[in-house]
Structure 1
Amino acid sequence: MRIAYVAAPWLPVPPPAYGGSEVVIDRLARGVKQAGHEVMLFTTGDSSCPVDRRWTRPDAVPDLIGEVGVELAHVIGAYAAVRDWGADIVHDHTLSGPAYARTVTTMPVVTTNHGPFTEDLTVIYRDAAKSAAIVAISHAATAGNIPVTRIIHHGVDPTQYPMGEGQGGFYLFLGRMCADKGVREAALIALAAGVRLLIAAKMRAPSERAYFETQVKPLLTNKVQFIGEVAGPAKAELLGAAAALLNPICWPEPFGLVMIEALACGTPVLTYPLGSAPEIVDHNKTGFLCQNEAQMVARLGEVSQLDRRTCRRAAQERFSQQRMVDEHLSLYAELLTRAAHRAADVERAVIAEPHRRIMATDFGTSIPPVGRLTSPPNGVGR
């Protein structure tokens, strides 16, 4: 297959430090290429993902995130490149791309919602579903009135996250400096338990700096320390040395990449049963799903009883990059088969009625769900 990926222009692929969808796109594009398929990635010129890359904008524009004009100009360039490259299928990770694609191409389009289906996003993806296959990243990140085609959890390459022994003598918060991620709550929990906590967090936006100054900095002590943003091998080393990942999220997170990265390092996760967390953390085996701060304080003393090899195995078996790649390739193949059948139906209709004008409405252009959505496995918080 010839598969084109379209990333948003906000960050390079992969991102130099903290990133979400860009990390996933990089892992997916690399994995699909390694599986023997031809891959083209439309991104920004400062990207380094080792596949065939195209771009119109030389540098990513993180300060312009959400600017409709910026994204649309990027998308127009993307679909021109996709057409010239001769893709069989396009996997679009932008918001405006699927709607624009409907006007310029008939090839199968896949789009992933990397966030929750908010009121506005529900409108966007309901419209996109008329002509594109919708991928959700967890059972928690779905909307009842949107025909989600597949639920595909993110994956991690375990070889990039070596297993650690938790020998560092600290607990770890890793993420973004904001209220949703629960940084303040993590500090309060560590202080109440009297344990050492390292806070490794992205703090670049003005809102993130303001949150740190007012909510987190006053709580810092010789035991609760802010060490800045970490990435790459340093992040994996930090995760492996931590006794546990302290992840008291305060919102229904669609998917927590940091949780599967921690598990890949053999590190248990303490979190709340919100969003996708119950789909990732197996209560009492790979971590604890706590109901409140007091319960999380109590559970901190029990993480040493959890088997780090079980955590590692969960990442390898349930959240591997290979599994993520295989599930996407299965979806692409099925959509291409459907497209071929539709084309054959049109050809047969033309032969049968050569004088009749064949309309697109005769066969439909929507992409119905592929298979049934399964319920999340039984467990705490589900």
Structure 2
Amino acid sequence: MRIGIISHLKHPIAEPFAGGLEMHTFQLARMLRQRGHDVTLFASVKSDPDLGLEAICSETAIAEVGLSEASDIAFFREHHAYLSLMNSLRTRDFDVIQNNSLHYLPVSMADTIPMPMVTTLHTPPFCWLESGVRLSDTRNHGLVGVSHSIERQWAHVRSLDAVIPNGIDLNKFGFQPFADAYPYLVWYGRIVPEKGLHLAMDAARQVGLPLRIAGPAHDETYFRDEIQPRLGGDARYEGHMAHADLADLIGGARAFLCSPMWDEPYGLVVAEALACGVPVAAFARGAIPEIVDSHSGVLATPGDAGSLAMATLAAMQLDRRACRARAFAICSAEKMIDGYEAIYAHMIHRMQEQTASPLSRVAAPRDELYPAPSASTLSPAMAHG
């Protein structure tokens, strides 16, 4: 298939990844190309050229604009980049467009292009994206959710065509048996308030093990006010690490602490930790209860550092091989690509039928690549209310 992938433009689609969305888009483009598809990635200029890059904009991250009018400049850069792209797609020769942009223009203009579009919903509804989805033509615009949690949050706007969990390259997160020499805990991700690192640092101190931290510090004020005062001999910030170094850091940990202050749409960091064989202690929010099970993680009361500490102590007793097995069962990139190939083929077929018979209305089959989760293991704090 000839596939065009529309990326978001805040950060380049390249290592080291700014976040989970960049990693997901990179993985999707790379593996579709490996399967023989002709892929073009529409992204910012510093994205990886090996992904079939067609640059449509410089990065639009506010920090890189550096002006008092930063938000307006970023808004108009994105607006004009996506408007130009969608207009150009009217004469381009693609079989399907994959939209990972989180922007309202591609979804609201889906019915202006001659090929079907599939939009993956990586976030809960917000006003701009929700309005675009409501305006889109359902006949040639398929919606995919990355979790059942996201599916439920979008249900009042529109039903989804498929739930396809994000996947990771399990070979890049190799299993690491625990070495007793220097036990530590790990936290990694974007260092912003909604990721709750300060609570993970408090929990690690209650456990009594050092915490090693990795990821980009996207919020300077939060880092200065909440994170730096908590750093010390038992809490060390490693910076924004390259992929191989990050995998080594994760794999050497006794447990991974996940402390979201919002409902995580998926949680790639959880999948990566499990792939390394590292048990997870996490706040029970969003899609995280869909990823971990009683053999691979322990859930804690959201926002409660003491509960997270208790969950960490329990998680450290879990079998690391069971964690790796859980990653193979539900977090495989191969399974993710199977799902996207299936929805692309379905959307192409549905649009061909619509073209041949305009009066026909073919409903999309409901496709779930894993079942809704059963009750997950609770920490002692949650089990006792």
* TM-score in terms of structure 1 length: 0.87
Residue 250 of structure 1: which of 233, 251, 261 is its match? Answer: 261
Q: 1:74 to 1:234 in 2, by over 3 A?
A: same
1:116 is aligned to 2:130: no
1:181 counterpart residue number: 195
1:29 counterpart residue number: 29
Q: What does 1:1-382 correspond to in 2, within 5 Å?
A: 1-57=1-57, 59-63=58-62, 67-79=74-86, 82-83=89-90, 85-94=92-101, 95=103, 96-103=105-112, 105-128=113-136, 130=138, 131-142=140-151, 143-145=154-156, 146-167=158-179, 168-204=182-218, 208-283=219-294, 285-291=295-301, 292-346=304-358, 362=359, 368-371=363-366, 376-380=372-376
Return the offset for 1:369: 4.3
| In structure 2, C-alpha distance between the alignment counterparts of 1:31 and 1:82, rounded to whole Å | 23
| In structure 2, C-alpha distance between the alignment counterparts of 1:28 and 1:196, rounded to whole Å | 35
Provide Cα deviations, 1:105-158, integer angstroms capped at 9, x if missing partner: 131111112111235543332323645111111111122221211111100001
Q: 1:372 to 1:257 in 2, by over 3 A?
A: closer
| In structure 2, C-alpha distance between the alignment counterparts of 1:223 and 1:42, rounded to whole Å | 43
Check the 8 A contact 2:263/2:286 in 1, yes or no: yes
Check the 8 A contact 1:125/1:134 in 2, yes or no: no
Q: 1:78 to 1:29 in 2, by over 3 A?
A: same
1:42 partner SS: strand
1:355 counterpart residue number: none
Return the offset for 1:372: 5.8
Percent identity for Structure 1 against Structure 2: 27
Check the 8 A contact 1:26/1:49 in 2, yes or no: no
Q: 1:112 to 1:129 in 2, by over 3 A?
A: farther
Aligned residues: CA RMSD: 2.3
* TM-score in terms of structure 2 length: 0.86
Return the offset for 1:39: 1.3
1:110 partner SS: strand
| In structure 2, C-alpha distance between the alignment counterparts of 1:175 and 1:76, rounded to whole Å | 31
Return the offset for 1:381: 7.7
Partner amino acid, structure 2, of 1:87: F
Return the offset for 1:184: 0.8
| In structure 1, C-alpha distance between the alignment counterparts of 2:110 and 2:133, rounded to whole Å | 14
Provide Cα deviations, 1:331-358, integer angstroms capped at 9, x if missing partner: 0001111111112214xxxxxxxxxxxx
Return the offset for 1:85: 4.6
| In structure 2, C-alpha distance between the alignment counterparts of 1:371 and 1:302, rounded to whole Å | 37
Q: Which moved further from structure 2: 220-229 or 59-68?
A: 59-68
Return the offset for 1:165: 2.2
Check the 8 A contact 2:15/2:243 in 1, yes or no: no
Structure 1 unaligned residues grouped into runs of 5+: 347-361
Q: 1:74 to 1:259 in 2, by over 3 A?
A: same
Which structure has the bigger radius of gyration? 1
| In structure 1, C-alpha distance between the alignment counterparts of 2:86 and 2:55, rounded to whole Å | 11
Partner amino acid, structure 2, of 1:247: C
Length, aligned pairs only:
359
Q: 1:237 to 1:44 in 2, by over 3 A?
A: same
Return the offset for 1:53: 2.2
| In structure 2, C-alpha distance between the alignment counterparts of 1:215 and 1:237, rounded to whole Å | 26
Structure 2 unaligned residues grouped into runs of 5+: 66-70, 379-385
Q: Which moved further from structure 2: 47-56 or 261-270?
A: 47-56
| In structure 1, C-alpha distance between the alignment counterparts of 2:175 and 2:163, rounded to whole Å | 28
Q: 1:93 to 1:259 in 2, by over 3 A?
A: same
